Amino acid sequence: MSTTVEYVRFACADPDRLAAHRDTLISLLRERYGSDFVGAHLARCEDGSLLDLILWASPEVAERAAREMPGDPAAAGFFGLIGEVHEMRHAEILHSAQQ
């Protein structure tokens, strides 16, 4: 298995409200996927779009979560605030570094 990053860039009319729902989503990901959910970052791009980077233990679990989570009623507070999705990709992590 190789660690996989899920990269999603999207529009959101109310980023503050979306961020308020983020803790609920993260708790849900931890509960549903356990140690296969490695971590996540939400960022705002210079053009105002948002960028969600989620780290998964494998490409299989990343693909599974991408299929399951958007329609999950427990995650509706987060996904209901997402506007147009500009780009979504999965990529294998080749190198990581942390301070």
Give the residue numbers spanning the domain of 49: 4-89
The count of structural domains within the chain is 1
User: Does residue 95 belong to any structural domain of this protein?
Assistant: no
Average predicted confidence (pLDDT) for the chain: 94
The per-residue b/e assignment along 65-96, b for 16 or more CB within 10 angstroms, e otherwise, is: beeebeeeeebeebeebbeeeeeeeeeeeeee
- pLDDT tens, 18-37? 999 999 999 999 999 999 99
User: What predicted TM-score, i.e. pTM, was given to this entire model?
Assistant: 0.91
User: Does residue 60 belong to any structural domain of this protein?
Assistant: yes
User: Does residue 73 belong to any structural domain of this protein?
Assistant: yes
User: Does residue 12 belong to any structural domain of this protein?
Assistant: yes
User: Does residue 52 belong to any structural domain of this protein?
Assistant: yes
Task: Give the CATH number for residue 83.
Answer: 3.30.70.100
